[in-house]
A and B are shown apart, each in its own frame.
Chain A
């Protein structure tokens, strides 16, 4: 279809694309472009309900949903499947059509030892290049595991040179979750495997960050470097208090972590964070770790965040690889209940180089319930130019608990738009205990859509075998009510109060050490099957 000549006097004819129509247009030309679906872009977003078909009894649940996009923007999702009556766990992994109309495939993914299926949970799904890096744990005896799959889910490597089971300490249980999992650099050179386990010398559970060779899965220390690349274990004071990492990110050159920390002299609860090269070349000794409180720039210790999240900048090179964004719920102090965004530039500011702080305050009138605070369970994501950061906040109501998707302008410390997401079972209405969680989101290579998966859902007081998957345009369009399978999803404007201003108060004295007493053991294998999944796109 050719369009009528533009009404312009100067310059060539203008040609519309899906996202732009420059120049001067007559009403007729606009009508032609709309008729042909050329401009403006038709709404390409969707919500869908996914039941991987693994568990189907009352009480069964699908948990720990993950979503990731490879370099061709193929969409992969995963979840843990819990058969509650059998007390059994396994996992599912699937590929989704970009238009959301159907699944491309759907697999049950099992891990076996001596041909016996183990109680394993797949809680890490990271695409890099065209490969998938997966990780999780086994919960009967307690160990972490990691593997690399190709796009057909064929195993490229599993485990470590020393064995397929990963433990913080030999003979003691270790576990993983959606934060402590395998992370991989976008260029697939290095990975860092986070897992936590009981460490008898401290009498508590401790997390470690272990650099690995992403090409082989082998630990860098001591396999590749006998005197470098030590795993790092952040610590509490005293060490008898458990330590878990809630936020981690890495890019093509560097890594960063952030967590709630206990220290008897600092709060005692505070936020500990740190940054290093992706090899963690000099271990704890070279990691720029410090602490902050969240009560105000000179408020001292007391306010903190129980589970802060962090994301890496997508810009490669220097200083882009040094830059990070963090989002966290605030506990205690003047800003208790707010969610807080902050930008960290250690390249020019060192450990205290945090700025562009912005608070989000829940607005009870946005919700059918009466929330009083916000938290975050899902790491934020930046667009390709690091202009905008996208994140999902969760309010603290339970009947229902509502989420808020935000497009945040980093430099200008404002929300470009914010949208509430409310999920409930259509048959029950908004009447009960409705609490979904979102622990994973992604953005496509063109910055046109953000993606996420709600899982670990308790709706109308009952656990659910379905997850709610979404693709939503970054222009904020799509506000409507959607019905996906048994679920109704309301997506619409929210009105959280947005206030710019830095609230962090910094301190040194971070605690941790390089850790070399980890253990690798055993041989594991994998198997897949193809259960009948249910995918309902709204």
Chain B
């Protein structure tokens, strides 16, 4: 069974065929947070935080769970 999306033989085996990749975005690098976000905690660079979008707050990432 051949794939419409991937080469499965030859040098390109495993690579996507032309035109089959979904469109992606080029990142626009910025350190500015989106409007409406709470300010960064003081230990922002040393402690990983995740944004809790439902409660609009920063939460320490993986705290106690690892």
Residues of A within 8 A of B (CB): 61, 63-64, 80, 121, 123, 142, 172-173, 175, 177-178, 196, 198, 200-205, 235, 237-242, 244, 253-254, 262, 264, 268-269, 276-277, 281-282, 284, 286, 288-290, 318-319, 322, 331-332, 346-351, 377, 437, 439, 456, 508-513
**Residues from chain A with Cβ under 8 Å of B33 in the complex:** 238, 240-241
User: Is B42 located at the chain interface by the 8 A CB criterion?
Assistant: no
* Selected A-B contacts with CB under 8 Å, 19 pairs: A61-B64, A173-B45, A198-B48, A238-B28, A240-B30, A241-B33, A244-B48, A244-B61, A281-B15, A284-B24, A319-B3, A346-B5, A456-B64, A508-B23, A509-B23, A511-B24, A511-B25, A512-B24, A512-B27
Question: CB < 8 Å: which of B23, B46, B64 contacts A173?
Answer: B46
Leading 7 A-B pairs by shortest Cβ distance:
A203-B31, A64-B66, A277-B14, A508-B23, A508-B22, A290-B22, A205-B48
- For window 21-53 of chain B, which residues contact chain A by CB distance below 8 Å? 21-34, 45-46, 48-51, 53
**Residue ID in chain B nearest A238 by CB atoms:** B30
CB distance from B27 to the nearest CB of A (A): 5
In the bound assembly, the distance between CA atoms of A383 and B26 in angstroms comes to: 39
- B23, B27, B32, B33: which has the most chain A beta carbons within 10 Å? B27
Give the size range of B's interface with the partner.
35 or more
Known A201-B29, A509-B24; contact A288-B16, beta-carbon cutoff 8 A? yes
**Residues from chain A with Cβ under 8 Å of B45 in the complex:** 172-173, 198, 200
Q: Is the CB of A202 within 8 A of B31?
A: yes
In the bound assembly, the distance between CA atoms of A110 and B14 in angstroms comes to: 39
Question: CB < 8 Å: which of B4, B16, B32, B62 contacts A177?
Answer: B62
Q: Is the CB of B22 within 8 A of A64?
A: no
In the bound assembly, the distance between CA atoms of A243 and B38 in angstroms comes to: 17
In the bound assembly, the distance between CA atoms of A382 and B49 in angstroms comes to: 33
Q: Is the interface of A mostly helix, strand, loop or mixed?
A: mixed
Q: Is the CB of B65 within 8 A of A350?
A: no
Question: CB < 8 Å: which of A253, A456, A511, A513 contacts B66?
Answer: A456
**Residues from chain B with Cβ under 8 Å of A350 in the complex:** 4-5, 20, 22
In the bound assembly, the distance between CA atoms of A510 and B34 in angstroms comes to: 18
In the bound assembly, the distance between CA atoms of A279 and B40 in angstroms comes to: 36
CB distance from A53 to the nearest CB of B (A): 19
**Residues from chain B with Cβ under 8 Å of A235 in the complex:** 27
Q: Is the CB of A319 within 8 A of B1?
A: yes
**Residues from chain A with Cβ under 8 Å of B66 in the complex:** 63-64, 80, 121, 123, 177-178, 456
CB distance from B7 to the nearest CB of A (A): 10
In the bound assembly, the distance between CA atoms of A282 and B34 in angstroms comes to: 31
Known A177-B62, A177-B65, A281-B14; contact A242-B27, beta-carbon cutoff 8 A? no
Q: Is the CB of A282 within 8 A of B25?
A: no
Q: Is the CB of A510 within 8 A of B15?
A: no
User: Is B57 located at the chain interface by the 8 A CB criterion?
Assistant: no
In the bound assembly, the distance between CA atoms of A463 and B27 in angstroms comes to: 41
CB distance from A495 to the nearest CB of B (A): 28
Q: Is the CB of B28 within 8 A of A239?
A: yes
